[in-house]
Chain A
């Protein structure tokens, strides 16, 4: 790999061994910010980095030179002071284009490609953000990784219910495109043309007939046609999906969980760690974001507050109340961090305070660096 910093911190030490970092977590916890901050930091350390970002805040996108969805990497101008040789590229995921490209690349004929791209069920499914987005981020990762232009690719992930949704996305995609159930619909030889109705004759005829009763012939036919049109490319797509899935297990690939200090979020991070352990994937650590700034654990006494110049009784009482409130949150967060560190083996536990002001630009991202490195 590339130039090393004089004394790598724990995080950068671990990242040096990786070519791919997947940043996972539930909605709104700070995945996009953390992914971009790490990418920027590693680029400043002299590595050639690319970040695949998903729906970044407008200002952050602008700061990275991403003015529109174009599914292309853009070179980001690095601030002064980085180690020579480092570079940063950013790409904003456009799932629909990525899906279209996957179809284009795997279709064996132009006809096959056009049949899929022209299918209205395909258009609906590939354009909808839910479900396929995760997998399409991995598709882009696969392409960039193969290109070999980068030392490290950092992948942001779409807002998910659970961090593990990312891990399951290749299998979901496979199941979705799978030909097996398709053959349920189709009698051998009934391929061309009027599917739905011919299929009624097969051993599954009754089931298909029932389904048709509740959906109507049109929806059944179009959906079946869509699945059938995908069958031609199913083989090559599933090969790719398996390659992508194998990337998860590579020693070059690491996972980073981002969570808030809230109970559910921390529990999810622990569950995610367990899952990765079970599969022997490389879990780099957890970033707990928006942590209450640490408190000393003791309160200023009335006498101490009264001794301060110009503070009357009412203000002193309010200061005391605020200190109690914030200390309670700080101690909650402290124990959540300890718990996480205890329960996730030798993985890193990194905390980023809730910043009073979070600037969504490169300077804002750089301000996160000191926290990333503890």
Chain B
């Protein structure tokens, strides 16, 4: 899809052209958070954006709105809507399409046999969900324009996420003829078309998540799925230089036994935070070494709980301008700690 005139290409988040993006990664790395921030960021760049949650735990939309999200897209302000796709809803719709008679479809879907069938039939559930996403991405309005420029899918954690994107191909191979084969092939082509579909991998600057992200990336590429971007989430921006951290440790070691606990803690915090930054930087290097392009970065937000304002801030960090500032500050040396303070201030401002 060509860039629409109303997009400012300079403003597109993560350098991503609008399309259907599956946000995935290991459990708890921030998939829902990044999905919500990415949706906001795209919307701000002028794209009509749909944020999609799937069956189960996904919760991206609830970060943006307290409203209950259902199978119909719910508007969340201008150019942004959210919906939740469950297997049952998707099955209902698919059955109506194929059987053409609503009563028949409803009769089928309410039959207990269906429940067992969908559990046992390999890939059937995934196919229904992907089929719905395909139809959303292809939907046009009465002027022939795409209804959605961008669709962001808060996808299940790693293992299951790969399964989801791989399933159409597996089904197409297992059942090469019949209506399911037609559907599987269409959906498979959709998930492998880099113009229509991409994956955003979310990772954390820690050993296991980075290793798993690199493995997952290889797996996806092997399957022919495009990894559109990798986001390294939760990076601490170092407030201290090596020398300052060393100085704080030395001072801490010299503190008398009866020193104020607040002073002791303050000094401990310096070496502790700096130590983590050093480890994180090493993991970031390891991640980038395994990627074609360096990972996009998102800062750790110091807040007891992420609120709507934090998501707005994260969505701004995802913009090209935000990324540029962050990258520079993570590089540290040149701008030094005062730039780091700016990131912390920006994150703090919103809380």
Contacts and interface: CB of A to CB of B under 8 A. Distances in A.
Contact of B272 (A57, A158, A293): A293
Given A210-B99, A213-B179, A304-B260, A318 B251 contact: no
Contacts of A325: 302, 344, 348
Contacts of A293: 268, 272
Given A159-B159, A222-B175, A213 B99 contact: yes
B304 A329 contact: yes
Given A26-B27, A207-B108, A176 B175 contact: no
B244 interface: yes
B2 interface: no
Contact of A219 (B111, B175, B337): B175
A337 to B, nearest CB: 13
A275 interface: no
Interface string A295-331: 1101111001100111100110111111101111100
A306 to B, nearest CB: 11
B138 to A, nearest CB: 20
A176 B120 contact: yes
Given A214-B99, A298-B261, A29 B270 contact: no
Contact of B113 (A58, A184, A264, A315): A184
A356 B275 contact: yes
B26 A214 contact: no
B273 A226 contact: no
A207 B28 CA distance: 41
Contacts of B28: 26-29, 260
Interface stretch (B207-215, B217-225, B325-333): B207-215
B262 A300 contact: yes
A323 B344 contact: no
Interface residues of B, number: 78
Interface in B86-130: 94-95, 98-99, 104-105, 107-108, 111-117, 119-124
B269 A207 contact: no
Interface string A108-143: 000000000000110011001110000000000000
A319 B251 contact: no
A344 to B, nearest CB: 21
Given A181-B112, A210-B99, A299 B207 contact: no
Nearest to B98: A214
A319 B270 contact: yes
A162 B156 CA distance: 13
B251 to A, nearest CB: 5
A215 B160 contact: no
B338 interface: yes
Contacts of A260: 28
A328 B265 CA distance: 13
Interface in A262-313: 263-264, 293, 295-296, 298-301, 304-305, 308-311
B350 interface: no
A184 B111 CA distance: 10
Interface in A226-266: 226-227, 260, 263-264
B265 A175 contact: no
A315 B207 contact: no
A161 interface: yes
Nearest to B97: A214
Interface string B249-263: 001000000001111
Given A357-B275, A358-B207, A210 B104 contact: yes
B122 A124 contact: yes
A267 B115 CA distance: 30
A125 B123 CA distance: 9
Given A124-B170, A308-B251, A322 B27 contact: no
B335 to A, nearest CB: 13
Nearest to A356: B275
Interface in B134-189: 157-160, 163, 170-171, 174-175, 177-181
Nearest to B119: A176
A184 to B, nearest CB: 5
A326 B244 contact: no
A346 interface: no
A218 interface: yes
A246 B192 CA distance: 45
B273 A223 contact: no
Given A318-B341, A332-B304, A121 B263 contact: no
Nearest to A227: B120
Top 8 A-B pairs ranked by shortest CB distance? A27-B27, A216-B178, A28-B28, A124-B122, A332-B304, A296-B261, A181-B116, A161-B57
24 contacts: A29-B28, A121-B120, A124-B170, A125-B120, A129-B163, A159-B158, A204-B113, A207-B108, A207-B111, A210-B104, A210-B108, A215-B178, A218-B180, A219-B175, A223-B117, A227-B120, A296-B265, A310-B251, A311-B251, A314-B337, A317-B341, A318-B239, A322-B240, A323-B269
Given A124-B170, A321-B239, 7 more contacts: A121-B121, A214-B98, A215-B121, A298-B262, A300-B260, A300-B263, A326-B273
